[in-house]
Amino acid sequence: MMKKLDIYGKELLEAVKICRSMIRHEMIEHAVVDTKKPNEGLGDYLDKLIAKYEPSDSPRVILEKKARKVMDTLSGSGFNASWDYSETITGIFISSKFHIMNDNGYYVGWAHFSVLFRWNEPANEFRLRFHGPNSQYLARRHGLREHIENSIVHLVIE
């Protein structure tokens, strides 16, 4: 049975990317991009369609829930920056900065990091990466890798 997903809106490039991703992950088999209804909010429309056509236990939905849970829960105690979320061909990337405090209680810098939840791996597996030489140095010096990984593991393992 062929499912059909119609997308209306001005943001064609984004709509095409989402359709290709959904087709690649076998959520839909066919996509039609139509610009006849430019006033309808594309984001809201896509959210409704994804909820309608995508099973709640699909790998994409599970990974998205895990990533959102990490973003919503990790706040304070060094996780003092906002989170960024993006989906790519590889998987779901979430990124932020960790505010590092020294032994005297003074903030000494930020360690920029990202977490990747890959499409083709189990939902409880992820990859943590620190960006830039300063962030990598601070992460090694203050043992951030273990701390951040432990914080995330407790959230994603059910």
Phi then psi for residue 120, to 5 deg, are -95, 15
119 and 143 share a domain?
Answer: yes
Contact present, 34 and 49 (Cβ < 8 Å): no
Work out how many domains the chain is built from and give that number. Answer: 2
139 and 72 share a domain?
Answer: yes
Dist. CA 34–CA 46, nearest whole Å: 13
Per residue in 82-95, pLDDT (tens digit) is 888 888 888 888 89
65 and 142 share a domain?
Answer: yes
pLDDT at 19: 62
Of the three residues 14, 36, 54, the one that is the final residue of a domain is 54
Q: Say yes or no to pLDDT of 74 above 50.
A: yes
Three-state secondary structure call for residue 126: coil
23 and 40 share a domain?
Answer: yes
What residues are paired with 107 via a beta bridge? 101
* Choice between 155 and 58, residue whose per-residue pLDDT is larger: 155
Give the domain range for residue 74.
Answer: 61-156
67 and 121 share a domain?
Answer: yes
Phi then psi for residue 9, to 5 deg, are 155, 170
pLDDT at 43: 56
| 62 confidence band (pLDDT: 50, 70, 90) | confident
132 and 66 share a domain?
Answer: yes
DSSP for 6-49, written as a single string = EEESS-HHHHHHHHHHHHHTTS-SEEEEE-S-TTS-HHHHHHHH
Helices of type H across the chain? 12-24, 42-53, 59-73, 133-142, 144-156
User: Which residue in 99, 104, 108 sits closest to 144, CA to CA?
Assistant: 99
| 1 confidence band (pLDDT: 50, 70, 90) | very low
Q: Say yes or no to pLDDT of 3 above 60.
A: no
102 and 40 share a domain?
Answer: no
User: Which residue in 25, 15, 78 sits closest to 54, CA to CA?
Assistant: 25
Of the three residues 13, 36, 54, the one that is the final residue of a domain is 54
